[in-house]
Amino acid sequence: MPGRRAISLRPLDSGPCAADDIGRTGAAGVTLELASIRHIFSGRDMHIFPCLTIALALCAAGNAAAAPLRLCYEDVALSPWTAPDGSGLNFNVLRRVQERLAEQFDFVPLPWKRCLEEVRVGHMDGVFAAADTPERRLFSVAPTLPDGHADPRAALYSDTFNVYLRNGSGASWNGKDLLAPRGRVVVPRGYFLAGLLRERGVEVNEAVKTSEEGLRMLANGIADAAVLQGRDAEWLAANDPRFRGLISEAATPYVVMPLYLLIGRKAYDSDPKRALAIWEEIRAVLLTPEYKKLEADAMKRLSRE
């Protein structure tokens, strides 16, 4: 009709609204967009305007609810999985999840114990590369199977926690009993290992932040046994001249644990479907040929170092 402009409206049930559909997300964006198109409607067409107002407001509400998730991780390098600068295989997985779901994650490196505490009090929305434990279930949610156990298919990876012994100290680990004749076993602060060891009657020293610090305590004779995570500890114990000949790695790991993205209880309760979608996408990314090759190449590089 001459003198009248056409406008296309997306039905309310046609899917999520893009930011471009309403100018900018949030109430301010809706107000600006409505102001710019209100003059289109006049006379009998004004009955359309309230419907448009509701539709745009719902779009804005949906977009506002999907604020970036703040995810913390340990500010210590754990090759090849995470590094304080945001590199590593875990970041590759989570960034692919972002792209596939049009998600937004803010990655925040923190000391491990503080990271967990920030999730507990709701200042962080989640933590990744974390073991699922009963204590952590009090303030976070893990991807689970129907029986309530954590789903290993959604684990970002599994890592080995090895026992390191000071040579000549009398400390030992036979795969069942961990003995440290002079006292406590060293573990990094905030690690689930502390609780696991205490449950088994072992005294614990959580005075260290890194594997390197733990190995130094052994080499300097301050402690006789330590349980430390991953390949960085393995490499240091075998190759660093400060430790070579002074420390031995026990033949049997203390434990091998799957490590997850845990979503804080507050964030999960506000949008369970969002968390479930993220975990499902983690499962999917881990199965892609591209990621499998990336992980295999990273492991090969580590084995040559």
Same domain for 110 and 100, yes or no, is yes
Side-chain-side CA neighbours of residue 1 (13 Å): 5
Residue 121 within a domain: yes
| 65 or 83, which is more confident | 83
Same domain for 149 and 291, yes or no, is yes
- In the structure, what pLDDT confidence band is assigned to residue 303 with cuts at 50, 70 and 90? confident
Q: Which of 82, 78, 111, 235 is nearest to 164 (CA)?
A: 235
Q: Where are the beta strands (DSSP E) in 25-113?
A: 69-74, 105-110
Query: DSSP code of 184?
Result: P
Q: Domain end: 41, 65, 89, which one?
A: 65
Same domain for 216 and 272, yes or no, is no
pLDDT at 113 over 90: yes
Residue 11 within a domain: no
Same domain for 251 and 169, yes or no, is yes
pLDDT at 63 over 50: no
pLDDT at 125 over 50: yes
pLDDT at position 302, please?
Answer: 85
pLDDT at position 143, please?
Answer: 99
- In the structure, what pLDDT confidence band is assigned to residue 9 with cuts at 50, 70 and 90? very low
| Phi, psi angle pair for 163, to nearest 5° | -100, 130
Residue 10 within a domain: no
Q: Which of 226, 262, 259 is nearest to 116 (CA)?
A: 262
Q: Let me know: does 226 contact 217? Beta carbons within 8 Å.
A: yes
Same domain for 172 and 117, yes or no, is no
Structural domain count, the chain = 3
Residue 210 within a domain: yes
- Worst-scoring range by mean pLDDT, 50-64, 126-140, 290-304? 50-64
pLDDT at position 150, please?
Answer: 98
Is the CA virtual torsion 127, 89, 158, 189 positive or negative? Answer: negative
Same domain for 147 and 293, yes or no, is yes
Same domain for 102 and 236, yes or no, is no
Same domain for 203 and 285, yes or no, is no
Residue 8 within a domain: no
pLDDT at position 221, please?
Answer: 94
Q: Domain end: 7, 42, 65, which one?
A: 65
CA gap 177, 197 in Å, rounded: 10
pTM: 0.78
Average pLDDT (88-99) is 98
Same domain for 129 and 193, yes or no, is no
Residue 297 within a domain: yes
Model confidence pLDDT, tens digit, residues 195-216: 999 999 999 999 999 999 999 9
Residue 186 within a domain: yes
Model confidence pLDDT, tens digit, residues 258-268: 999 999 999 99
* Whole-number average pLDDT of the chain: 84
CA distances from 5 to 37, 169, 269 (A): 10, 86, 44
pLDDT at 16 over 80: no
| CA of residue 71 relative to chain centroid, distance | 6
Is the CA virtual torsion 206, 212, 214, 217 positive or negative? Answer: negative
Domain boundaries, position 112: 69-156+258-304
Residue 287 within a domain: yes
pLDDT at position 112, please?
Answer: 98
pLDDT at 1 over 80: no
Same domain for 217 and 280, yes or no, is no
Could you tell me the CATH number of the domain that includes residue 290?
Answer: 3.40.190.10
Same domain for 166 and 185, yes or no, is yes
Same domain for 120 and 234, yes or no, is no
pLDDT at 235 over 50: yes
pLDDT at position 59, please?
Answer: 43
